[in-house]
Copies of this chain bind each other. A is one copy, B any other.
Amino acid sequence: MSGIEDVARLAGVSKATVSRALSGRGYVAPPTRLRVSEAAASLGYVVSSSASSLVTGRTSNVGVIIPVINQWFFSSIIEGVERALVERGYDLMLYNLTKTHEERSRVFEYYLVRKRVDAVIAVTLEITPEEAETLLALGKPIAGIGGPLEGIPTLSIDDVAASRLATEHLLLLGHRDIVHVGGDVDEQMDFHVHSKRLKGYMEALTAAGIAYDETSYIAARFDIPGGYSVAKQLLGDPRRRPTAIFAASDEVAIGVILAARELGISVPDDLSVIGIDGHPLAEMFGLTTVVQRPDLQGEQAVDWVIRQLEQPGWTPPVHHTTVPANLLIRSSTAPPRRPTP
Contact = CB atoms under 8 A, between A and B. Distances in A.
Interface of A: 1, 46-51, 53-54, 59, 61, 69-72, 74-76, 78-79, 82-83, 86, 91-96, 103, 106-107, 110-111, 113-116, 224-225, 228, 258, 261, 281, 283-284
Closest 8 CB pairs of A and B: A50-B53, A50-B54, A75-B75, A225-B284, A50-B50, A48-B115, A69-B79, A82-B96
B224 A281 contact: yes
Given A47-B114, A54-B51, A70-B72, A86 B95 contact: yes
| Copies of this chain held together in the complex | 2
A76 B75 CA distance: 10
Contacts of A91: 93, 95, 111, 116
B113 A46 contact: yes
A53 B82 CA distance: 24
Nearest to A228: B284
Given A70-B75, A83-B96, A86-B95, 11 more contacts: A46-B115, A48-B114, A51-B54, A69-B78, A70-B76, A74-B75, A86-B107, A92-B93, A92-B94, A94-B94, A225-B281
A245 B329 CA distance: 34
Nearest to A262: B261
Contacts of A79: 69-70, 96
Nearest to A225: B284
B69 A82 contact: yes
Nearest to A64: B94
Contacts of A83: 96
A82 B54 contact: no
> Among the interface residues A70, A74, A96, A224, which one has the most CB atoms of the partner chain B within 10 A?
A70
Contacts of A48: 54, 114-115
A86 B115 contact: no
A53 B116 CA distance: 11
Contact of A82 (B61, B94, B284): B94
23 contacts: A1-B115, A46-B113, A46-B115, A47-B114, A47-B115, A48-B54, A48-B114, A50-B115, A61-B93, A69-B82, A70-B72, A70-B75, A70-B76, A70-B79, A74-B75, A86-B103, A91-B93, A92-B94, A93-B93, A224-B281, A224-B284, A225-B281, A261-B261
Nearest to A68: B79
Contacts of A78: 69, 94
Contact of A225 (B61, B69, B258, B283): B283
A92 B97 CA distance: 13
A31 to B, nearest CB: 25
